[in-house]
Each structure stands twice: as structure tokens, then as C-alpha cells.
């Protein structure tokens, strides 16, 4: 497995593979790899011939008061996980490699970036869209894998790829969870023991919403209240949003007539957690 540090190096490696029939897969990450990332890497490994995992903590997707400085960084352990899972390349550029002095272009996806995470974290999705465009452009993968855990991000990336005609097949893999339901996240490391015990409440609330839909509840407002009624039982949790949305546009649904995605974000102290479930009626 190679560790490549420069965009030029990545482009050169990719050019070397341009023989016909080599399928290149890519899994973009910010490192601190856990079993959620591992599942993406394994799925990618089975679907391609040459696999790149990128590891880059992207400053542009963090707000000024967010956790960029303390976000966990452990390239050695991450690289060894990637090697164990059969990656061919770890792409781990420096900050100045990705954003050299003078860099001034931003990629924006308009409507999908407005709501939910976008409303709570201004600039976040511009940062995501910009870095993903740069990574896909340099690596030119045939397939790129993302997690359902970041549902809005996955929808935004599908839109981006279609809008700017990137020739990549975007695949979204199911959320990997702890045994108590908490979605795996690099940020779970920040939780105190008491917050960690409280954290599965978000998934429980989303499941209550899904159960209501299964029991033929159709009103978005009632489903939302059902989710809220679970979360208010947890004094440590502060609700940021709980929403019943169209799975493609992410607009809120007054009535669930087809599929819905239930999106949620809470705060436990300073730690922000997001999660989602898809619900069929
Ligand atoms: P991150 O390192 O947080 O930027 O995540 C890199 C990729 O892993 C993104 O596509 C995430 O959606 C995905 N991911 C993160 N956590 C999970 C999880 N628990 N299950 C599945 N995919 C995940």
C-alpha cells in the first residue's frame, strides 16, 4: 500500500492505471477510522480493482467555533487499518497541499445545503462540496462510497456529481451502529460516560418515528411530536432538529405518502450528534 501526500502524486498514480478494465474505488474520510469507515472500505474493496482511501481533516467544513483543532488525528493507525483492509493507496495531503495560498474557489450546492445541517453549520456544505470535488477530480474514481450516517451529505454529493458531470458512481452504504444503536462517529470519543449512556436516545427517537409510520401515521407533525416525546425524557440531550423529510429533496413533509427520511440532530453538552433512518409507509 502506498501513502501519497500530493495531488500530483495521486494524479500520476491514477494515470498509471488508465489501462482498460481497472475499476478504481474511493472512500473519502477525515480519518480517526472506525468500523463505519471500515464497512465502506470493505464494500469498496469488493466493488473495485484499485482502492484509494483519502484521509484529510478538511478545515473548510468546520465552523470557526467548531472542533477542527481537536478533531482526532492518527494517521499511523488509520493507514494500518487501510492496509489490513486491502487499500492500495492512502491519500493524506497536508493543508497547504489541498488549499495552497491564493486558493479561492468554492463549490456550492444551493438548495440541499440550506436546511438542517446547513442551517446549523453555515459554510459546512460548501466545505464538503469543495473538498469532494477536488478529491474526485484528482483521483477520478469509477465509484465513490459514502455513509448513510451523513444522509444530507450523501444527497448533496449525488446532486453535485450529477450537476457537474463527474463520471463517478456514487454509492451510499448503511449506517454502522454500536450494539445499543448509537451510530459510530469519530466524535463519539468526545462524550463523557454519562453522555455516552444518553447518546442512543437519538436513534430511539428516530425509531419511534419510523414505528409510527409503520402503524399508518401520516401526519409529519404527529410523527415529529412522537420523536420529540422520546427525546424530552433525556435531560442531557438538547434537540437541534427532528424532521420528517422527502428522501430526495430533504424538504419537510406535511404528509408521508411514500418514503420518508427522518433526520435528527442533538447536543449532549458540547458534542453534536446527528443520525437518520429511512421509513417506508
Ligand atoms: P468522516 O470521516 O466522518 O468524514 O466520514 C467519512 C465517511 O464515512 C462518510 O461518507 C461518512 O458518512 C461515513 N461514515 C461515518 N460514520 C459512519 C457510520 N457509522 N456508518 C457508515 N458510514 C459512516
- The residues, ordered by sequence, that sit 6+ positions from 200 with a Cβ below 8 Å of its Cβ are 178, 180, 181, 182
Q: How is the beta sheet containing 260-268 ordered, strand by strand?
A: 237-245, 260-268, 271-279
Average pLDDT over residues 111-133: 97
Residues whose beta carbon lies within 6 Å of some atom of ligand 1: 29-30, 36-37, 39-40, 146-147, 149-150, 173, 175-176, 183-186
User: Are the C-beta atoms of 150 and 121 separated by less than 8 Å?
Assistant: no
Nearest-atom number in ligand 1 for the CA of 183 is: 19
SS3 content of the chain, % helix, strand, coil (to 5): 40, 20, 40
Whether 68 has a pLDDT exceeding 80, the answer reads yes
Point out the ligand 1 atom lying closest to the alpha carbon of residue 39.
21
Maximum separation of any 2 CA atoms in the chain, in Å: 58
Q: How far apart are CA 253 and CA 226, in angstroms?
A: 15
Predicted confidence (pLDDT) per residue in 261-273, tens digit? 999 999 999 999 9
The pLDDT, as a whole number, for residue 19 is 76
Mean local confidence (pLDDT), 38-62: 98
Name the residue of 25, 26, 28, 29 to mutate for ligand 1: max ligand atoms within 8 A of Cβ: 29
177 Cα nearest atom in ligand 1 = 19
Tell how far the Cα of 143 is from the centroid of ligand 1, in angstroms. 16
Cα–ligand 1 centroid distance for 249 (angstroms):
21
- What confidence score (pLDDT) does residue 135 get? 98
Q: How far apart are CA 78 and CA 250, in angstroms?
A: 33
Q: Examine the pLDDT at 240 and tell me if it is beyond 80.
A: yes
pLDDT of 179 over the 90 cut: yes
**Cα angle vertex 265, ends 260, 267, to 5°?**
165
Confidence of residue 46 (pLDDT cuts 50, 70, 90): very high
150 Cα to the center of ligand 1, angstroms:
7
9 phi/psi in degrees, rounded to 5: -60, -40
| 34 given a catalytic annotation | no
CA of 33 to the centre of ligand 1 (A): 9
Measure the CA–CA gap between 85 and 80, rounded to whole angstroms: 9
Task: Tell me the percentage of the chain whose pLDDT exceeds 90.
Answer: 98
What is the reported pLDDT for 236?
98
Q: What is the mean pLDDT of residues 136-146?
A: 98
Residue 20 confidence (pLDDT) above 90: no
Q: Locate cell 420528517: which residue?
A: 244
Dist. CA 57–CA 59, nearest whole Å:
6
**Model pLDDT, residue 21:** 85
Cα 79 to ligand 1 centroid, rounded to whole Å: 16
Is residue 50 over pLDDT 90?
yes
Of 34, 37, 124, 248, the catalytic one is 37
Amino acid at each position: 500500500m502506498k501513502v501519497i501526500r500530493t495531488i500530483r502524486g495521486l494524479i500520476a498514480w491514477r494515470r498509471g492505471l488508465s489501462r482498460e478494465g481497472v475499476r478504481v474505488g474511493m472512500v473519502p474520510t477525515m480519518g480517526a477510522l472506525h468500523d463505519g469507515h471500515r464497512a465502506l472500505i470493505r464494500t469498496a474493496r469488493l466493488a473495485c480493482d484499485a482502492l484509494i482511501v483519502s484521509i484529510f481533516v478538511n478545515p473548510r467544513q468546520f465552523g470557526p467555533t467548531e472542533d477542527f483543532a481537536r478533531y482526532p488525528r492518527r494517521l499511523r493507525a488509520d493507514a494500518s487499518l487501510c492496509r489490513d483492509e486491502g487499500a492500495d493507496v492512502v491519500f493524506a495531503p497536508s493543508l497547504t497541499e489541498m488549499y495552497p495560498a491564493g486558493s479561492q474557489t468554492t463549490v456550492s450546492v444551493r438548495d440541499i445545503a440550506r436546511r438542517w445541517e446547513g442551517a446549523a453549520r453555515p459554510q459546512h456544505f460548501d466545505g464538503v462540496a469543495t473538498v469532494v470535488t477536488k478529491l474526485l477530480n484528482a483521483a477520478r474514481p469509477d465509484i465513490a462510497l459514502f455513509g448513510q450516517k451523513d444522509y444530507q451529505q450523501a444527497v448533496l454529493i449525488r446532486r453535485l456529481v450529477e450537476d457537474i458531470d463527474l463520471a463517478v458512481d456514487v454509492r451510499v452504504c448503511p449506517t454502522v451502529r454500536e450494539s445499543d444503536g448509537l451510530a459510530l462517529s469519530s466524535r463519539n470519543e468526545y462524550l463523557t460516560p454519562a453522555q455516552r449512556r444518553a447518546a442512543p436516545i437519538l436513534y430511539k427517537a428516530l425509531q419511534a418515528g419510523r414505528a409510527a409510520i409503520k402503524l399508518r401515521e401520516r401526519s409529519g407533525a404527529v410523527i415529529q411530536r412522537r420523536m420529540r416525546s422520546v427525546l424530552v425524557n433525556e435531560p442531557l440531550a438538547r434537540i437541534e432538529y427532528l424532521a420528517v423529510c422527502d428522501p430526495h429533496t430533504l424538504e419537510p413533509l406535511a404528509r408521508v405518502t411514500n418514503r420518508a427520511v427522518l433526520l435528527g440532530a442533538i447536543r449532549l453538552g458540547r458534542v453534536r450528534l446527528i443520525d437518520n433512518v429511512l421509513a417506508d409507509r
